[in-house]
Amino acid sequence: MPDSIMYREDAYVVLESDRPEQLMTPEGLLEKLTEIVRSRQDNLPRELQKFTDVEEQARYLMENYCELDMEAGKYLQWYVVRLEK
C-alpha cells in the first residue's frame, strides 16, 4: 500500500526566465497560474479550452502540466516538492 506522503504537495519550485527559482505554496502557484491564464485566454493549450472557468483552467494546468510556453525565449516551469518537518 502506497504511503500517503506520495500524494502530498507541500510546495512547488517555480522556474521563470530572468528570475531566481522560487518556492511557492500550492495556493500561491494556483494564484499565479490563474493570473496568467486569465490574461492568455486566446492562447491556451487545447486541453484547457474545454474548461470555461479560469480557476478550473489554472488548476488543471497546475495538476497536469509542469511547464507553460510563454512568449518567445521565456519559460515558466513548476515542480512539486515535499518538505520534511
Cell of 78: 513548476
pLDDT truncated to tens, each residue of the chain (85 aa)?
Answer: 444 444 566 899 999 998 999 999 999 999 999 999 999 999 888 899 999 999 999 999 999 999 998 888 889 999 999 877 6
pLDDT at position 56 is: 96
Q: What is the pLDDT of residue 22?
A: 95
Answer yes or no: CATH 3.40.50.300 is held by domain 25-85: no
pLDDT at 71 (0 to 100): 82
- The set of residues, in sequence order, having a beta carbon less than 8 Å from that of 16 and lying 6+ positions away, is 22, 74, 75, 76, 77
Residue whose C-alpha is closest to residue 77's, from 11, 10, 14: 14
The domain limits of the chain are 25-85
- Global pTM reads 0.84
